Copies of this chain bind each other. A is one copy, B any other.
Amino acid sequence: MKLNEAKLQFIASWGAFGTHWGINRTMAQIHALLLISPDPLSADDIMEQLNISRGNANMNIRELIDWALVDRVILPGERKEFFTAEKDIWKVARQIVRERKKRELDPMLKLLGQLSQVEGDKKDKEIKTFTDTVTGIKKFGEQADKALDILVKADESWFLGTMMKLFK
């Protein structure tokens, strides 16, 4: 496979997979493009390579910066801003876990905490099922929360080493 064909495939697929992961297509495509670009790109470069409008490029680049997956770079002698993506995939994964934990898991646990204190007689079948389900999910979520915290703080070699030992 030729490099150019492979690049297009990678960008298209990363974009498609992104949509399964709560990230929009263009945002994932910009991320993919930056991941495989040896040098920083400008907004114009991105617009041109992905065939998207200036507004679209701008919004999604900002969103990527917000997720801390992309950095602004100032090149000496250039007026424009340029952008790069972190290429160490372990760091990328940890950053995504960190953000999604903050945006999704933490608020969910907060809500479950409130819901588990529903009023009423625990003998009532309706109340019992509700409380049991909610506290079950809450406990599971708290375990996941702890495990992910470790993952986010861990460095790759420690983590892989431990996994190796665990899973033979």
Q: A residues engaging B (CB < 8 A)?
A: 1-3, 6-7, 9-10, 13, 17, 19-22, 35-38, 87-90, 93, 100, 103-104, 108, 111, 114-115, 117-120, 125-130, 132-134, 136-137, 140, 143, 146-147, 150, 160, 162-163, 166-167
Task: Check A6/B136 contact, CB under 8 A, given A36-B130, A38-B129, A147-B163.
Answer: no
Q: A152 → chain B, closest Cβ, in Å? A: 12
Q: A87 → chain B, closest Cβ, in Å? A: 6
Q: A106 → chain B, closest Cβ, in Å? A: 12
Residue on B nearest A167 in the bound complex, by CB: B150
A104 CA to B93 CA, complexed, in Å: 16
